[in-house]
Structure 1
C-alpha cells in the first residue's frame, strides 16, 4: 500500500510537471497493484 501511495504522490506532485501521460500511467499502476497483490497472496489457499 505504501508503494501505491508513493507512486500517486510522486506522479501528481513531481512527474506531471514533465509528462502528464507518465503521471497517468503511474496512477494506473498504483490502482492495479493492490488487486494483483491480493490475488498473489491468496493463490494457494484452496489447495
Structure 2
C-alpha cells in the first residue's frame, strides 16, 4: 500500500544519489566516461521513481467512487455567465 510505494520511491532516490555522488567523488578519478554514464543513469531514475511511487496497486482504493446516477446539472444562479461570456437574463 502507501508505505510500500513510499519505500520503493525512497530506495530508487537513494540509488540515484549514490550513483551521482560516487560518480563525481571517486569514479571520475579512474574513468570519466564511466562517471558520465553513471550520471546519465542517475538522471533517468527520478522520473521512474515518481512513476513507481504513484502507481496504483490492486489493493489500493484510489478513485474507486461508485458511478453517479445521471447527475442533474448544477442549479443556475442569477447573473451567472455562460461559456460564451454572455449573461443570462
- Fold shared per TM-score above 0.5: yes
Q: Which has the higher contact order (CA 8 A, sep 6+)?
A: 1
Q: Which runs of 5+ in 2 are unaligned?
A: 1-12, 57-61, 63-89
Larger radius of gyration: 2
Q: 2:14 aligns with which of 2, 9, 25?
A: 2
Aligned mates of 1:36, 1:11 — CA distance in 2: 20
Task: Indicate the RMSD between aligned Cα atoms, in angstroms.
Answer: 1.9
Deviation at 1:26, TM superposition (A): 0.2
Q: TM-score, normalised by structure 1?
A: 0.75
Greater per-residue helix proportion:
1
Moved over 6 A (4+): none
* Structure 1: stretches of 5+ with no match in the other structure: none
Aligned mate of 1:23, from 35, 39, 52: 35
Following TM superposition, by how much is the alpha carbon of 1:34 offset from its aligned partner in structure 2, in angstroms? Answer: 1.5
Residue 35 (1) aligns with residue 77 (2): no
TM-score (norm 2): 0.45
